[in-house]
Structures are given as structure tokens and as C-alpha cells.
Amino acid sequence: MVVDEGFAERNSERLEKAIRHETPDRVPVAVHVNGPFIAGFNSVPYEVYYKDREVMLKCQLKVRRRFYGLTPVWPDYGMVLEASALGADICWEVDGSPWVRPFIRSVEDVERLRVPDPHRDGLLPIFLETYEYMRRNVGEDAQLGCCSCVGPATLASLIRGATEFLRDLCLDKDLAVKLLSICSETAKVWLLAQAEVAPEVDCVLIGDDIASYMSPKQFEEFILPRYREIYSVLPNRRRWLHNDADSSHLLELLAESGVEVLHLGYEVDIIDAKRRIGGRVCLMGNLPPLEVLRDGSRELVASKSRDLILKLAYDGGFVLAPGGYLVEGTPPENIDSMIEAAEHTPINGLD
């Protein structure tokens, strides 16, 4: 065993210290998994994993046990929840994640949209039912981790089409603004619904990769105020943001949103990010999921992990993690190597 039975609890305590920009005894580590990794780890077809809640729960528990209690147990429907509630058709693949068929063609289509009812529309009630099922079967081991939502830029791109939405920001601002508004309102009601069934959850997570394809000016105008609005609906929760695209040009603006924990993609120079915003935001990342964690040797993972720890963890505000989600087929031994490096590498090189 790479770590002992008390590791998960110690890791949670270290995470809290890192978020407060205090220096823990060791750097905390996060193991980010989603449907493709979990289904692959269990040799289960994607469609079966996503559509059978009993299979989903068994698969997630197996991953959780294997990786020392570091992964959550939660209703996992990929990125399509909110889009389904707005009326999108969801396409289910035997060997791929569910995806959204864009359906917004005009401003009139946007004006017909209504903020969904989480207890009635799309997959949202199925998520809530699955969460209750998980709680009945495994008790407190079913945990959302965070109340989470697809961010406004990404949700708009899912139902409009990414190219079309990004073009709208330049050529049809009326459509873009109306679409972003309904997406933001959807995020808010969905977060509140999750908080009702999981009041113990202490963080809000926005996932919004598409925002990285905007210019700083566009982000400041269209997205920054909406992040603040979304976070404000659950004001006493920690504020997390996942963006594993290249957000290098937006770092200062992301910090202005009030985010406390920023999960960065591997393309971002995280040492530069630490210099620019590390005093305001706890940075999480950013080992390359493909070339290091999936395709590299155990020794390479350990070396890259130690390098990040020694360069970034000296004054808190850092969590070692993949720069994105773990890729299907990542060797468990490489994940162990990342975890082991976090547990056994002294911060500042001193024990």
C-alpha cells in the first residue's frame, strides 16, 4: 500500500490549509476521475455505466477503494445535465461519453428557452434520484465533492455550437448575451437544487473550458460578472473553478471572479500562474494527463510531481493533481506514484 489508512483524512486537512494559503506538512493531492476513466477501469461499456445507476455506483466504489478514498461517489452524467434540461437531445454512445446535439439556431430559439425546473426537466431529476439511491446504499460515502455546474460559456457552446457561440460574441451580441443569461440562471437553480439534497457539501464548482477561447476583453464583459453571480447563490461555500484549456491569458481575470481553488490545464505554465495570482488563488494541477500520467513511467511521474511540489508548495496555495481529468487507460501505478510523491516529498525540501 502506497499510503496508510489515515491518508485520506490527512489529505483533507492539508487541502483546507492549502486553500487558506497556510503551509501544510505535505502538499495535498487530488485524483480527478470521470466517466471514461471509471468505466474503463471497470471494463464496463460507457453507455451501461451512464445509464445503470447500480453499475455506476459499483464502478465508482471500486475506484474509490483502489485509490485510498480520494475519489468521490456521485451521479455522473458527464457534461450534458443542464443542456438536457434546456431541451437538448442527448446522444449516448456505447464507447464514448454522452454528447449534446446543438439546437439553438436563432435569437428566437433563445427567447423560447425557460429556466429549467431541476425536479422535472431533462436529466436533472434523474441526477437527484440517483444521488438519493447512492446515499441509501452507501451512506456518507456518497458525496458530491462540490455542488457543480457547467459554466455559462461551455453550456452556451453545447446548445448553440462552439464555433457559432464564439462567433456570436463578435457578430451577434444580442443572441450571445441572451443565451449566456439563460445559461447562468440555469446554473444557479441547479446549484441550489444540489445544495438542498447535499447541504453538507462545502464548495461550488464551475466547469468552463470554453471561456479560455475568449479574449480577455470578452471574458471581462461576458463571463466575469456571471461567475460572480453564480458563486453568490451559495455564498458560504468554497468557490472552485475547473478550466483545463489554456487559460494563461485570463489568469488575473479569473482571480477577480472570487475563485478560491483553480484547477488548471497542463498547457498553463503553473509556475508563472503562481507568480501572477498565487497570492490570491489556490492553484491545482497540473501534471500532463497523457504524456506523463498515462504514457510516462512511474519514475517520470514521481520526478514531475516532486518538481511541482518543490517549486509551488512553499507557502501553501497548491494542490498536486492532473492537469485535467485522468485519461482512460492511465496505469494505476502511475496514479500511485503521484500520490506517493505528495505524501513523501517534504515541502521546501526539508523534513
Does residue 294 lie in a domain region? no
pLDDT of residue 242: 98
Domains identified in the chain, total number: 1
Residue closest to 183 by CA, chosen among 223, 242, 220, 143 = 223
Residue 141 has pLDDT above 70, yes or no: no
Q: How many CA atoms lie within 13 A of 343 on its CB side?
A: 19
Instruction: With H, G, I as helix, E, B as strand and everything else as coil, classify residue 206.
Output: strand
Domain with residue 218: its CATH number is 3.20.20.210
The pLDDT of residue 50: 96
C-alpha–C-alpha distance, residues 128 and 241, integer Å = 22
Which residues fall within 8 angstroms of residue 57, CB to CB, at 6 or more apart? 73, 133, 134, 137, 138, 142
Placement of cell 457559432 in the chain:
164
Q: Is the pLDDT of residue 310 over 60?
A: yes
Provide the pLDDT confidence category of residue 351 given band limits of 50, 70 and 90: low
Residue 301 counted as domain residue: no
Domain-located, residue 107: yes
Q: At what angle do helices 173-197 and 224-232 cross, to 10 degrees?
A: 20
| pLDDT the model gives residue 3 | 85
Q: Residue 303 domain-assigned?
A: no
Cα angle 119-152-128, degrees, rounded to a multiple of 5: 20
| C-alpha distances out from residue 89 to 33, 104, 130, 156, Å | 25, 12, 20, 15
Tell me the average pLDDT across 335-344.
97
> How many CA atoms are closer than 13 Å to the CA of 317, on its beta-carbon side?
19
pTM for the whole thing?
0.96
pLDDT of residue 1: 64
With the CA atoms of 135, 185, 210 and 16 taken in that order, what torsion angle do they form, in degrees rounded to the nearest 10? Answer: -50
CA angle, residues 90, 93, 98, in degrees to nearest 5: 40
pLDDT-derived band of residue 25, with 50, 70 and 90 as boundaries? very high
Question: What's the pLDDT score for residue 350?
Answer: 57
**Is there a domain that residue 86 lies in?**
yes
In this predicted structure, what is the pLDDT of residue 94? 80
Q: Which amino acid is at 333?
A: E
pLDDT tens-digit series, residues 203-257: 999 999 999 999 999 999 999 999 999 999 999 999 999 999 999 999 999 999 9
Has residue 44 got a pLDDT over 70? yes
pLDDT score for 2: 80
- Give percent of the chain with pLDDT exceeding 70: 97
Ranges assigned E (strand) in 233-275: 238-243, 261-264
Q: Cα separations (Å) of 193 from 73, 140, 184, 228, 237?
A: 18, 19, 14, 19, 14
pLDDT digits (tens, 9 = 90+) for 26-38: 999 999 999 999 9
Please state the rounded mean pLDDT for residues 66-76. Answer: 94
Q: Is residue 345 part of a domain?
A: no
Q: Compute the mean pLDDT over every residue in the chain, rounded to the nearest whole number.
A: 95
Domain containing 90 equals: 72-259
**CA 294 distance to own-chain centroid:** 19
Mean pLDDT, residues 332-351? 89
Query: Rounded to an integer, what distance in angstroms lies between the CA atom of residue 312 and that of residue 252?
Result: 18
C-beta atoms surrounding 306 within 10 Å: 17
Is 294's pLDDT higher than 90? yes
Average of pLDDT values for 120-133? 96
Least confident of 86-100, 120-134, 174-188, 225-239: 86-100
The pLDDT of residue 349 is: 59
Kindly state the average pLDDT of the residues 267-275. Answer: 98
